[in-house]
Chain A
Amino acid sequence: MTTTTQPTGPLRPEGPAKLTGHAQYAADVPAPGALAAALVGASVPTGRVAALHTAAAEKAPGVAAVLTAADLPRLRPQSSPPLGHAALPMQDDAVRYEGDPIAIVLAATWEQAVHAANLVTAEYADVTEPLMFGQAEPVPPDSGHVLWPTDHRTGDVEAGLAAAETVVSARYTTSDRHHNPIEPSSTLAEWDGDRLTVHSSVQTLTLTQQTLAGLFGLDPEQVRVVCPYVGGGFGCKGYVWPNTTLAAAAAKAVGRPVRLTSTRAQMFTLNGHQPATRQEITLGATANGRLTAVRHHAVNATARGEGHFCEGAPVAAGWLYASPAIQTRIRVQQVDRPNPTAMRSPAEGLGLFALESAMDELACASGIDPVELRLCNEPEVDPTTGKPFSSRTLADCLREGARRFGWERRTPEPGSMRDGNDLVGWGVAAVTRETNRAASTVRMRAHADGRFVVETGIQEIGTGTPAVIQAVAGEVLGIAPARVGIEHGDTAQPPGSPAIGSMSAMSLGSAVHIAATELGDKLTAAGGAAGLRTAGIDYLEVEGRWDPDEDAARWKDHSVNAYGAVFAEVRVDPDLGLVRMGRCTAVYGAGRVLSPLTARSQAIGGIVWGWGQAVLEKSVLEPGRGRFLSKNLAGYIVPVNADIGDIDITFLDDDRHASPIGAKGIGELSAIGVGAAITNAVHHATGRRIRDLPIRIHDLL
């Protein structure tokens, strides 16, 4: 079945709240009596704080206190993950990265606190030249972030290459990037004896609750985390970062509620970043394009020491194409920088830039159409695990995408398509992503007055989770989605899915499906709402829980992945080196689409993220200083409305193995492959192969 989502369908229930300014984000929570906090960051990348001069700040208007490491409670070590950076801030005098917090200023207003923070000066000792990416030995990663085999081999790659008619081999790089959600991190922390309540902008309520409990030696029940809305995260609010930790520690130190809101500049150092990668790919193929060998090696920059982040860039090479020999390798360079973290889209989002560029190079070298090359390498089963695919929609996505895009009108010769002075290029890339899932619980009530309410501890971060809950519950109960009320955003509610890794819709949706099914049965047995009223019952309540481990029979014997194909048209002004988006067509097999309107928005957002990765976004970590060069949105540029051409989104297919409701993830998937589709299109337009993202003007002059 082909479902092309047009902008129709049930609307987001939180729409009016967001559109009128009434949706309450962490920094909006009224907090009479709270002190406003501002952080002072280290201005050097290594060493230790030898002296802190706080007198001027203490005398500044409105300042209540200046806290140093000695003033804060000692925290109990936690691992990374769930911490963003394993080294806890302000527990000693060590400086682990430029921007590492060294003092907290508490004042009556945020402006006063920020001003006073600028008056704090520090002397440092033992500062060394920071080690940069490219200067350290690549080593196998060794931390809780390693979710994939670091070295994998199927078959004999050397033999496959020896047997190949065509071999392409190249190195690809991606840049350091920053998430830059428009909402800066903010936490309001309040202690009541040994009970802690935080209103914090986080993607993971339960994880934040458990981590704070661990840090402060509490039971999770003693910590309440509230977060109904998040103003964007994209991964940088997925783990527990200093904004949350230090707000809670400062509130404990002074015995008053504290609100800590990060500055935009601090969002560049205290919430992770996507690390630069260097990837080497070698592909071998027969004359008719059948792959004989795939080798994908990747190394990413990471922080030193425990809990260093690692990217699984090469993982998709394990299942995307049929090849008798596949070898992948993951390495990291531990250097002087804040710990990176997942950013839309990690792993395949980096790896498929390289792999799908290499496939385009192979297509060019073999004289085979890029769509055809991919189609002729379709595997029957997962080539790495031998498992059957739960569904395999790549070929359908490629064919449908080619049809919608008009691919047959493409002339293969680079530079052969023009529009006036512009060179026009058409590129394609395959898209895939593994599926993640997490246990989720909801509480659901049917009231005697006819209302239905779902309660769950999730936050609305823009992905449309409330709309998904309504859609699933409405379908099961046979009622209009808008009749389902949703209460969310509090760890006092049943724990929902974290808003990371494209797992919310399928995980939480499955729990809603289970709850709504049971509730519907009970309600029918009770004679409906009228029956409840007759019986004098106010409401029926059920709890629905989906635990993917308990439901493993559904998916664990399959290779469960989402797929897609993205086609891009670029226009290149060859004189001025400018590349602009003409249009994009993307077709996804991402399981069942639960909320067509919000799914389409997710997919469009992903394409635009891909444009940012391909053409605009690059943070420069400066040699010598070990600091990010431009910690602002003028120096670090992200896409604006004028950058974006027409985007056509289509969803295919259903997948009964992924989850009880047949859904998979969309958010990460849609930002994958776009970079390669664009650089492949630029090659088609200009004959220039761009292997380093982002594409810059000087690359095309």
Chain B
Amino acid sequence: MTGTKKGCDRGECGACTVLIDGRRVLSCLTLAVGAQGAEVTTIEGLAPDGELHPLQHAFWETDAFQCGFCTAGQVMSAVGCINEGHASTDTEIKEWMSGNICRCAAYPQIVSAVSAAAAAMRPGADDERTDR
């Protein structure tokens, strides 16, 4: 699996963000041996093959990425951001998504994507997954 990217190798860019037991963390600072027995979710595991998670869908719709290299980390971080309850306002999303550098600088679109996905992922919202 090569979806998770190494950008800085020092915990300074966020490109390698994955979920470990549901929490967003930086894989470049995580020893694999230390994660034994934990559930690791990478971008590849976010949605079944051929489908998009609501966040992936929202990133696509809002053009919240350009070169795509930080994107897996942004999406995984956004999953954490929403699950932690830090996606209620644009200001809050900006702060809680600041651990992911996007050098192409799709920041406003990332805020839009997280905000839209947070609404779609709210309990009771329609299942927005599509296979487009």
Query: Are A and B direct contacts in the complex by CB distance below 8 Å?
Result: yes
Confirm or deny: B56 has a beta carbon within 8 angstroms of a beta carbon on chain A: yes
Contact status A462-B52, CB under 8 Å: no
CB under 8 Å from chain B, chain A span 595-618: 597-598, 600-602, 604-605, 607-609
A605 B111 Cβ-Cβ under 8 A: no
Judge whether A19 is part of the interface by a CB distance below 8 angstroms. yes
Does any Cβ of B come within 8 Å of A644's Cβ?
yes
Candidate in A638, A640, A642 with the most chain B CB atoms within 10 angstroms: A640
Asked if A65 is at the interface of the complex by the 8 Å CB criterion, the answer is no
Min CB distance, B124 to chain A, in Å? 25
Q: How far is the CA of A597 from the CA of B67 in the complex (A)?
A: 14
For the complex, is B44 an interface residue (Cβ under 8 Å from A)?
Answer: yes
Knowing A633-B101, A644-B94, say if A18 contacts B65 (CB, 8 Å). yes
The interface bits of chain B over 96-132 (1 if a CB of A lies within 8 angstroms of the residue's CB, else 0) are: 0111111111111111100000000000000000001
CA distance A180 to B13 in the complex (A): 11
Interface centre among A19, A24, A230, A644 (most CB of B within 10 A): A19
Is there a chain A Cβ closer than 8 Å to B1's Cβ? yes
The answer to whether A182 touches B103, judged by C-beta atoms less than 8 angstroms apart, is: yes
Chain B contact residues: helix, strand, loop or mixed: loop
**Residue B84 at the A interface, CB < 8 A?**
no
Chain B 79-103, CB within 8 Å of chain A: the 1/0 string? 0000000000000011101111111
**How far is it, in angstroms, between the C-alpha of A598 and the C-alpha of B60 when the chains are bound?**
11
- Structural contact, B97 and A641, CB atoms closer than 8 A: yes
Residues of A within 8 A of B105 (CB): 604-605, 607-609, 639, 644
- Residue in A closest to B106 when the chains form the complex, CB atoms: A601
B72 and A21 contacting across the interface, CB-CB below 8 Å = yes
Q: B106 contacts A19, CB within 8 Å?
A: no
Report the separation of the CA atoms of residues A461 and B67 in the bound assembly, to the nearest whole angstrom: 5
Interface contact A7-B63, CB-CB below 8 Å? yes
- Name the B residues within 8 Å of A22 (CB-CB): 3
Contacts of A71 in B (CB 8 A): none
Interface of A is mostly: loop
By a CB distance below 8 angstroms, the chain B residues around A172 are none
Query: Mask for A147-163, Cβ within 8 A of B = 1, else 0?
Result: 00000000000000000
B23 located at the interface, meaning its Cβ lies under 8 Å from any Cβ of chain A in the complex: no
Interface residue? B75 (CB, 8 A): yes
With both chains docked as a complex, state the minimum distance between the C-beta of B102 and any C-beta of chain A, in angstroms. 8
**A600-B63, A634-B10 given; A232·B3 CB < 8 A:** no
At the interface, yes or no: A32 with Cβ under 8 Å from chain B? no
B67 in complex: contacting residue of A24, A183, A608, A639, CB < 8 Å: A183
**Residue-by-residue, is B42-70 near A (CB-CB < 8 Å gives 1, otherwise 0)?**
11101100001000100111110111111
Residue of A nearest to B57 (CB): A19
A 437-475 to B, binary, CB cutoff 8 A, 1 in contact else 0 = 000000000000000000000001111100000000000
Could you tell me the distance between the alpha carbons of A140 and B8 in the complex, rounded to whole angstroms? 38
* Contact among A28, A182, A463 with B101 in the assembled complex (CB-CB below 8 Å): A182
Whether the pair A264, B9 counts as a contact (CB closer than 8 A) is yes
Residues of A within 8 A of B44 (CB): 20-21
Please give the distance in Å from B97's CB to the nearest CB on chain A: 5
List the A side residues contacting B9 at CB < 8 Å. 263-264
Query: Does B27 belong to the interface (CB within 8 Å)?
Result: no
Selecting from A8-16, A308-316, A403-411, A563-571, the interface stretch reads A8-16
Q: Would A641 and B72 be within 8 Å (CB), given that A15-B60, A609-B105 are in contact? A: no
Known: A183-B5, A633-B10. A231 touches B107 (CB 8 A): no
Q: Across the two chains, which residue of chain A brings its CB closest to B1? A: A21
A597, closest chain B residue (CB): B63
- Chain B contacts of A600 at CB under 8 A? 63
Q: Are A234 and B63 in contact (CB under 8 A)?
A: no
Taking a contact as CB atoms closer than 8 A, the residue among A18, A234, A604 that contacts B103 in the complex is A234
Check A364 for interface membership: any CB of B closer than 8 A: no
Q: How far is the CA of A366 from the CA of B37 in the complex (A)?
A: 71
Given A18-B65, A182-B70, A605 and B104 contact (CB-CB distance below 8 Å): yes
- Is A184 in the interface zone, CB < 8 Å from B? yes
A4 contacts the other chain (CB 8 A): no
Q: Is B15 an interface residue (CB 8 A)?
A: yes
Contact check: which of B61, B66, B99 meets A11 at CB < 8 Å? B61
Please name all residues of chain A whose beta carbon is closer than 8 Å to the beta carbon of B46 when the two chains form the complex. 20
Query: Shortest beta-carbon distance, A578 to chain B, in Å?
Result: 16
A571 smallest CB distance to B (angstroms): 14
Task: Answer whether residue A632 sits at the interface, using C-beta atoms and an 8 A cutoff.
Answer: yes
B63 touches A12 (CB 8 A): yes
- Complex Cα distance, B8 from A181, in Å, reads 10
- Cα(A12)–Cα(B109), bound, Å: 14
Binding site for B on A (CB under 8 A): 7, 11-12, 14-25, 27-28, 180-184, 229-232, 234, 263-264, 460-464, 597-598, 600-602, 604-605, 607-609, 632-634, 638-644, 646-647
Supplied contacts A608-B107, A641-B102, 19 more A-B pairs, CB within 8 Å: A11-B61, A19-B75, A20-B3, A21-B2, A21-B4, A21-B42, A181-B103, A182-B70, A182-B102, A183-B5, A234-B103, A264-B8, A462-B67, A632-B12, A634-B12, A640-B107, A641-B93, A641-B95, A642-B94
A-B pairs with beta carbons under 8 Å apart, 12 shown: A12-B60, A16-B56, A16-B60, A19-B75, A20-B47, A27-B2, A229-B68, A462-B104, A463-B66, A601-B109, A633-B13, A641-B98
Which B residues have a C-beta under 8 Å from some C-beta of A? 1-10, 12-13, 15, 42-44, 46-47, 52, 56, 59-63, 65-72, 75, 93-95, 97-112, 132
